Amino acid sequence: MNMPWHNKKVLVTGAGGFIGSHLVEKLVEQGAQVRAFVRYNSRADPGLLKFTDPDVRAAVELVGGDLRDEDAVRQAVRSCQIVLHLGALISIPYSYHHPVEVAQTNLLGTLNILLACRDLGVERLVHTSTSEVYGTARQTPISEAHPLQGQSPYSASKIGADKLAESFFSAYNLPVVTIRPFNTYGPRQSARAVIPTIITQALTQPVIKLGNLNTTRDFTFVQDTVNGFLLGAQAPGVEGQTINLGTGFEIRIGELVEKIVARVNRPVQVEVDTGRLRPAASEVFRLISDNSLARQSLGWQPEIDLDQGLEQTIQWIRHNLDQYRVGVYEF
C-alpha cells in the first residue's frame, strides 16, 4: 500500500452492507480509525458488521443516520480525511416498486456527501458506482467509455450520482475517484444477489427458482473489490477518474448454476420463475469488464478466481443458513 492507513480517520458509508462490512474490517486491520455510517434504526443494528470480529466492532465508531439528511452526513464527514461512499439502495427490483426512495437516497444522499466533502476539505472521496449503469453491453469488454444506459430506476439513480461526482471534480476540484464494481460476491452477501440465491436453494430445496438463465455477468470476489477501493483511496493522480473493477471473465447464469450445484452435490432441478424476470426492456443481458484502467492506474488485479470464491461463499452460507429465508424472492 502506498499510503499508510495507521491512524487515518476514515468514513465508510453503507458500512453495514455487504462490501462495506468487508471494507471496514480491512481498514481496521490496516490500522485506520474507522467511522461507520449505517442507516439508523432503534435497535442499533450494525447490519453485516455483526459478522465481523468483536475486536473489529469494538474499534469502529458506529454512527446511525440517513444519507438524505444533510446535517447527519456533514457530522459524519467532519474530521475525516478519507471518505469511502458505498451507501445506497442497490436492489433493482426494489427500484421498480419504490423509485422515489431509491432516487432520493442515491442522488440526494450522494449530493450531501459531495457537499460535505467539498466544504470540509477531505483528502480523497471514493464514490461507488455499479456496472449496471452500462446497461446491456453494446461492445465488449466494457470499458469506462461505454455509453451509460438507465435501464432501471436504480441504474438511472446511479448514473445521476456518478455525474454529480464528476461535476464536483470539474466545478470544485473535489478529489473524488469513482470506483465501478462489476458483480461482487462472497461471504455475507444477501439472497437479493444471484449467487447466494442459487447456493441457499441448492443446499436445501429440490428445485432452484431463478430469473433469466441466459444473461451473463462478470463476478468479482469481495476481497478483490475491497482491495480496489483501498487502492482507489490512495493511488496518486487518479482524481476525477472512473475505474472499473471486474475480472474480464463472463459466465452465463445457467452455467453458474451448474458450477454451484456440482459443488453442493445435491440432486436439484432448475426452474425459471417469471416473477423474478425483469421487464424485457430493463433486462441487462451481458456484462463483462475491461479492467485495463484499474490495472494501469491502481495496480489492481483480481486474485481470487470464480472457483475459489464460490467455494468460500458456499462454506460461509452453509454455516449461516439461518440468516436466509430460503426460497423467498428477496428484493
Whether the pLDDT of residue 1 is over 50: the answer is: no
* Segment 275-302, tens digit of pLDDT: 899 998 999 999 999 999 999 999 999 9
pLDDT computed for residue 139 by the predictor = 95
In the predicted model, what is the mean pLDDT of residues 205-228? 96
Taking residue 296's Cβ as centre, other Cβ atoms within 10 Å add up to 10
Report the C-alpha gap between 29 and 23 in whole angstroms. 10
Q: Could you tell me what percent of the chain has a pLDDT over 90?
A: 93
Taking residue 1's Cβ as centre, other Cβ atoms within 10 Å add up to 10
In the predicted model, what is the mean pLDDT of residues 102-116? 98
Residue 278 near residue 214, CB atoms below 8 Å: no
In the predicted model, what is the mean pLDDT of residues 4-9? 91
Predicted TM-score (pTM) of the model is 0.95
For 229, the grid coordinates are 477501493
Report the C-alpha gap between 93 and 180 in whole angstroms. 20
Q: Residue 74, class by beta-carbon neighbours within 10 Å (0-12 exposed, 13-18 middle, 19+ buried)?
A: middle
Q: 1 versus 32: which is more confidently predicted?
A: 32
The alpha carbons of the chain give a radius of gyration, in whole angstroms, of 19
**Per-domain boundaries in the chain:** 9-185+221-248+287-304
Amino acid at 85: H
Q: Is 5 helix (H, G, I), strand (E, B) or coil?
A: coil
* Segment 147-183, tens digit of pLDDT: 999 999 999 999 999 999 999 999 999 999 999 999 9
In the predicted model, what is the mean pLDDT of residues 66-74? 98
Whether the pLDDT of residue 210 is over 80: the answer is: yes
pLDDT computed for residue 39 by the predictor = 93
Residue 27 near residue 5, CB atoms below 8 Å: yes
In the predicted model, what is the mean pLDDT of residues 174-196? 96
pLDDT computed for residue 2 by the predictor = 44
In the predicted model, what is the mean pLDDT of residues 298-323? 97
Report the C-alpha gap between 225 and 270 in whole angstroms. 30
Report the C-alpha gap between 107 and 157 in whole angstroms. 6
In the predicted model, what is the mean pLDDT of residues 65-76? 98
In the predicted model, what is the mean pLDDT of residues 25-51? 94
In the predicted model, what is the mean pLDDT of residues 70-99? 97
pLDDT computed for residue 82 by the predictor = 98
In the predicted model, what is the mean pLDDT of residues 93-120? 97
Report the C-alpha gap between 28 and 259 in whole angstroms. 34
Q: Tally helices (H) and strands (E) across the chain.
A: 12, 13
- Mean pLDDT of all residues in the chain? 95
DSSP readout, 238-282?
-TT-EEEE--S--EEHHHHHHHHHHHHT---EEEE-GGGPPPGGG
- What is 9-185+221-248+287-304's CATH topology? Rossmann fold (3.40.50)
Q: Could you tell me what percent of the chain has a pLDDT over 70?
A: 99
Q: Please give the DSSP secondary-structure letter assigned to residue 142.
A: B
CB under 8 Å, gap of 24 or more: what pairs does 142-147 form? 142/244, 142/287, 142/288, 142/289, 142/290, 143/244, 143/290, 143/292, 143/293, 144/180, 144/241, 144/242, 144/243, 144/244, 144/290, 144/293
Residue 91 near residue 153, CB atoms below 8 Å: no
